[in-house]
Amino acid sequence: MPLKWASLISKSIGYFVIILSGIFYIQRIVVEPLERVATIALSAIGTIGVLSATCYQAVPCFDNERDRKEALYAAEKFLHSALLIIQTLFLKFALDQILTIEFVNNTIWLKNVLVGFFGLLLVGIGSFALLFASYGLDSLNKFLWKRYELRMNNKVEKKKKR
């Protein structure tokens, strides 16, 4: 498979999966109780956190400033995404706790306003988490494919010289 096709397929599938997963997460965190979405959220935080940490650890390994900046950018986007997912968990926890108050449950309009307001916050913050995770993925994926292509082109040139 030509290098350009492999790169395109990798990027397309990666973006599709992260967007689809993010949409399902946002939908679930709004309608499901915290206990049902916490596992998914914690897994996402762990995965995105590892991507961020890996990028941060790779920064000193690169020999030019441009490569360092690209890895640092991806690391920051992944870290920001993980922090936003943590915020969605805190918001969901706060909403679940507020809904256990008897007065709130007995006051239908107040309950509906709170659920709507927190739902709007969850969708907004979750959307930004998804956006930043996709920015990080885009940056890292382009960077790695560019380096791979450069390495493969150098291999071909060395073979031609022999």
Task: Return the residue matching tokens 């890895």.
Answer: 71
pLDDT band of 8, cuts 50, 70, 90: confident
Question: What pLDDT shows up at residue 16?
Answer: 84
pTM: 0.85
Whether the predicted pLDDT of 44 surpasses 70: yes
Cα–Cα distance for residue pair 129/78, rounded to 1 Å? 9
Phi/psi for 33 (5° steps) reads -70, 160
User: Do residues 110 and 99 touch, judged by C-beta distance below 8 A?
Assistant: no
